[in-house]
């Protein structure tokens, strides 16, 4: 549980630092432009959303993980519900991935 909180805190920190984008359109744009270092998709995201980001991240070789509820991710970012977000800072992305690996990654896939 502690690690889940740590991941959400890191997402919040990244957001306050201006190092995240969220929402389907912005996240996809970050992946395509090469600015995304990590994509996080909510475990509650629709099958279509999961497939879209799994395919995009595989093609563009961006790490992706499935973590948290939409409300949880949105709250961590100080926003409404979020089904997807991209972390655009390499060191923050690595810190989040490290925590994901500790809790078993929840579907973390390194590309």
Whole-angstrom Cα distance, residue 80 to residue 82? 6
Q: Inform me whether the pLDDT recorded for 110 exceeds 70.
A: no
Q: What token pair was written down for 86?
A: 């991209």
- Split at pLDDT 50, 70, 90, the class of 11 is very high
pLDDT in tens, 40-84: 999 999 999 999 999 999 999 999 999 999 999 999 999 999 999
CB 18 within 8 A of CB 66: no
**Angle at the Cα of 56 from the Cα atoms of 46 and 45, rounded to 5 degrees:** 15
Number of H helices and number of E strands within the chain? 5, 4
Q: Measured on CA atoms in the order 26, 27, 28, 31, is the torsion positive or negative?
A: positive
């Amino acid at each position: 549980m502690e690690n889940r909180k740590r991941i959400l805190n890191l997402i919040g920190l990244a957001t306050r630092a201006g190092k995240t984008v969220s929402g389907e359109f912005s996240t996809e744009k970050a992946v395509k432009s090469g600015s995304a270092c990590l994509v996080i998709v909510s475990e509650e995201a629709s099958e279509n959303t999961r497939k879209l980001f799994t395919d995009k991240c595989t093609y563009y070789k961006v790490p992706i993980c499935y973590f948290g509820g939409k409300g949880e991710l949105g709250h961590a970012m100080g926003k409404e519900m979020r089904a997807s977000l991209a972390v655009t800072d390499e060191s923050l992305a690595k810190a989040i991935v490290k925590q994901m690996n500790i809790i078993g990654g929840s579907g973390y896939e390194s590309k």
